[in-house]
Chains A and B, each alone.
Chain A
């Protein structure tokens, strides 16, 4: 199993550009998450999904959109990138219960200039 994979690893955007961060998991997990980590801080939840076709907002959703058309994939879309979105983005997945271990991808480092 590859676990949780993310692409790209690094990206530089100009203000106002758009991009999609890709996330795929091969563990057949129901729950998937997107977090952002700002320098020196813990992770904050952007969006999550409890299954294909079902998504919901987390703590910091503004400026982002998600979709979940399959169990495996959970892309994060940035529209009109802003410098405040400069961060490291982590995707994660869990089987389903609150007691399950959550697994993280390697992260995408995004800089908006």
Chain B
């Protein structure tokens, strides 16, 4: 099946710093989502971005589908940004199946005051 690799696995930032999280995937996709799992375990949709660039406040994401990677940018980080960031994809070859999301292992972000 499709492989999803996220880097770095762990990241510690001082409040106010910027960061870039990366997601590489091994095959073509027609669905890519970024999630934030907060310290209470809740999964929050950040972006649906199978290609192109989107921005939402301090967060933005870019997916270069032809090169099979996506980047999540966090600017002016805050302590509330702490948690785990997951990239998840649906491969283009899914066809009429489950359309299940395959998750990476996540990047654990800790923002310290």
Contact = CB atoms under 8 A, between A and B. Distances in A.
A56 interface: yes
- Size band of the interface chain B makes with A: 20 to 34
Interface stretch (A19-27, A78-86, A92-100): A92-100
Contacts of A50: 98
A74 interface: no
Contacts of A88: 41
A94 B105 contact: no
Contacts of A44: 103
Interface of A: 31, 33, 40-45, 48, 50, 56, 58, 88, 90, 92, 94, 97-104, 106-107, 109
Interface of B: 4, 30-31, 33, 35, 41-43, 45, 48, 50, 86, 88, 90, 94, 98-101, 103-106
